[in-house]
Structure 1
Amino acid sequence: MTLTQLSYVVAVDKHKNFGVAAQHCKVTQPTLSMQIQKLEDELGVILFDRTEQPIKTTKVGEALLKQAKVILREAQKFDEMVLEEKDESRGEIRIGVIPTLAPYLMPLFLKDFTKNNENIKVIVEELQTQQIIQKLDDAELDLGLLVTPIDHAGLQADPIFYEPFMAYVSDKSPLAKLSKVDQKDLNSGDLWLLNDGHCFREQSLLICKNRKKNSDQNKSLMFESGSLETIKKMIDQDYGFTLLPYLATLDLKNSKRLKEFSHPVPTREVSVIYSKYFRKNKIKDNLIESIRRHLPEGLDIVANKKIQVVDLPIGQLS
């Protein structure tokens, strides 16, 4: 049994195709197939049902696959421990960032972070929360920047800062007359939302939970988007309101449509998450320090009595 064979097994399980897995591993398909067959012969089990299309991992294969991932992570951990002992901040770091953070947070610090870590190749992917978690599990990402808490075995979180929610309202909305918004003022029927899969959507719904319902349930337009920017423009042209994270409002400071919440302000906890096998601690600490150094005023790095940290309804991920 070799690490190479195990990496081939993980690739086939992921792509459900020997040819695609071989391309991913940068080897020929016959080479990959031969090594997996050799491993199956050695173990005396069949890992993949080749009669199925796409290829299906067998029951025993699924059990062994989990251990294969652990072994590969531990091997990676061994190399990272050597680099850490040498105090070498080099190589590459792969970071996943949720869409409601990426366009607003990354431009604040990323240029400075890469400048101060010239030996590191930084790869950033914009992904939804569950995609980040899956890629961390599969060792395809090193770090995730997202909203916590997340209860997921094998992952750890370091909170970086606390970001308030703000309301962005149409001039036709009753909220437009208020200087500050209270959660009891929210009418969930007038709320414009991101589409399914975004943790920000779930938190917005939680903030509006048990609030008064819109009496007009026959609105002629029902619209959900994957972009906060699109939703803002729809509100500019129509009615209702949406909730925005503070960083998404920095270019709207003088807008009469933007409303702060009264205390305690609903707030989301933004963290870096990583596998318990992660060993590039110096790079992670440098990342956190760089982010905090470039945060604008209005964001706290520790929770306090003026804020209400909003739970994450999808936090129970296993």
Structure 2
Amino acid sequence: MPEISSVKLIVHASIIYYSYRTIMTLTELRYIVAVAQERHFGRAAERCFITQPALSVAIQKLEEELGTAIFERKKHEVTLTPLGEQIVQQAQRVLEEAERITIIAAQGKDQLVGPLRLGVIATVGPYILPDLVATLHKRAPKMPLEIEENLTANLSRMLKSGRLDVILIALPFEESAIVTQPLYDEPFKAVVPVTHPWAKKTRINAEQLSREQVLLPHAGHCFRQQVLDSCPELSRSDMEGIQGNSLETIRQMVVSGLGITVMPSSALTAKHQNKRLAVVSFAEPMPQRRIGMAWRTGFTRPAALEVLRDAVQSLKIPGLTPVTSS
């Protein structure tokens, strides 16, 4: 009986060892990815800082344990088998996720290390991101931005699901478990063809818009609603005419003489000037919007949010007035 028990114990231990060994290591995954990318065992070995024989033995052992060939070895060429293609793709994903563990750990020590996933509404992104990216790179060089430009409703869903860390949107923005902070106020201005009677005016009243063909983004675009909220007269006029998907499309429509439009100041700086268009300010009370940032209550990198806020408020974009928190 003791002999039978000993045999059972040995078999059980062997099964445990075999099961353990079939769980490949990250090092082995790096080996097969290197060979797949280099298509050469010698170059892959140099890249992995081991000898070519050691690399070949490690990969052959892994193939034996998996019960399938990953590579086809020819005299002057190394190619992936059809199944090997899938294995290498999965290995790359595993290595990327493992790298994220390192990033998460680093962020625990320094919140300005690792990507910040930033969502921006489409009527803000094109006009502040070029300057913002450069400013943030100087202030937090180890915190690259991963940018998503989209509509407010889509950004909200992505923020709640954890796919984004923080979003720049128009306020008010009230959602459960979401915190907001104002960043800046931005006045609106009218944009008309240079041949329009308003082109020589310095100011107009918002009420005058109701008598014009005003081109705005389509329904669902938050900027459209911002303009309608600021200029209620437009809501009572016929707004079912020509619409555009972006401010730049609408700008070109105005150039073509299809109507006039209203744009935020950031879209009307010198770099966006068009000689065929005139920009006219509104009389007080001037229509405007407030842009803010929003994030989940449980977000664990407050230092990253602070750097982002300071970077946005430091931008020297004409017309933008930073909002100081109370």
Could you tell me how far apart the structure 2 residues matched to 1:87 and 1:288 are?
Answer: 18
1:123 Cα deviation from its structure 2 partner: 0.3
1:205 Cα deviation from its structure 2 partner: 2.1
Aligned to 2:233: 210
In structure 1, the residue corresponding to 2:190 is in which secondary structure?
Answer: strand
Aligned to 2:297: 276
**1:101-180 paired onto structure 2 within 5 Å:** 101-171=124-194, 173-180=196-203
Aligned to 1:245: 264
Aligned to 1:232: 251
Aligned to 2:204: 181
Aligned-CA RMSD value: 3.1
Could you tell me how far apart the structure 2 residues matched to 1:270 and 1:236 are?
Answer: 28
Aligned to 2:33: none
Matched, 1:266 2:255: no
Matched, 1:99 2:96: no
**Corresponding letter in the other structure for 2:203:** K
In structure 2, the residue corresponding to 1:264 is in which secondary structure?
Answer: coil
Matched, 1:292 2:313: yes
Q: Structure 1's 96 and 148: CA in aligned 2 closer, same or farther, altered over 3 A?
A: same
**Corresponding letter in the other structure for 1:180:** R
Q: Structure 1's 81 and 154: CA in aligned 2 closer, same or farther, altered over 3 A?
A: farther
1:80 Cα deviation from its structure 2 partner: 7.1
TM-score (norm 2): 0.62
**Corresponding letter in the other structure for 1:229:** E
Q: Structure 1's 212 and 89: CA in aligned 2 closer, same or farther, altered over 3 A?
A: closer
In structure 1, the residue corresponding to 2:298 is in which secondary structure?
Answer: coil
TM-score (norm 1): 0.63
Asked if the contact 2:266–2:318 (Cα under 8 Å) also holds between the matched residues in 1, the reply is: no
Task: Provide, for residues 96-127 of structure 1, a one-character-per-residue CA deviation record: whole Å limited to 9, x for no partner.
Answer: 11110111010112122123322223200111
Q: Structure 1's 253 and 235: CA in aligned 2 closer, same or farther, altered over 3 A?
A: closer
Q: Structure 1's 164 and 270: CA in aligned 2 closer, same or farther, altered over 3 A?
A: same
1:222 Cα deviation from its structure 2 partner: 3.5
In structure 1, the residue corresponding to 2:148 is in which secondary structure?
Answer: strand
- Report sequence identity in percent: 27
1:88 Cα deviation from its structure 2 partner: 4.2
Structure 1 residues not aligned, in runs of 5+: 1-22, 29-78, 304-318
Task: Provide, for residues 196-237 of structure 1, a one-character-per-residue CA deviation record: whole Å limited to 9, x for no partner.
Answer: 2211011122233235966xx7x9x94211111111111112
In structure 2, the residue corresponding to 1:278 is in which secondary structure?
Answer: coil
Asked if the contact 2:128–2:266 (Cα under 8 Å) also holds between the matched residues in 1, the reply is: yes
Could you tell me how far apart the structure 2 residues matched to 1:113 and 1:123 are?
Answer: 12
Aligned to 1:56: none
**1:6-155 paired onto structure 2 within 5 Å:** 83-84=107-108, 86-155=109-178
Could you tell me how far apart the structure 1 residues matched to 2:114 and 2:152 are?
Answer: 25
> Quick check: which one's helix share is greater?
2
1:283 Cα deviation from its structure 2 partner: 0.7
In structure 2, the residue corresponding to 1:295 is in which secondary structure?
Answer: coil
In structure 2, the residue corresponding to 1:168 is in which secondary structure?
Answer: strand
Could you tell me how far apart the structure 1 residues matched to 2:187 and 2:233 are?
Answer: 21
Structure 2 residues not aligned, in runs of 5+: 1-85, 92-102
Could you tell me how far apart the structure 2 residues matched to 1:239 and 1:121 are?
Answer: 41
Report which of the two structures shows the higher radius of gyration computed on alpha carbons: 2
Task: Provide, for residues 49-70 of structure 1, a one-character-per-residue CA deviation record: whole Å limited to 9, x for no partner.
Answer: xxxxxxxxxxxxxxxxxxxxxx
In structure 1, the residue corresponding to 2:269 is in which secondary structure?
Answer: helix
1:302 Cα deviation from its structure 2 partner: 2.8
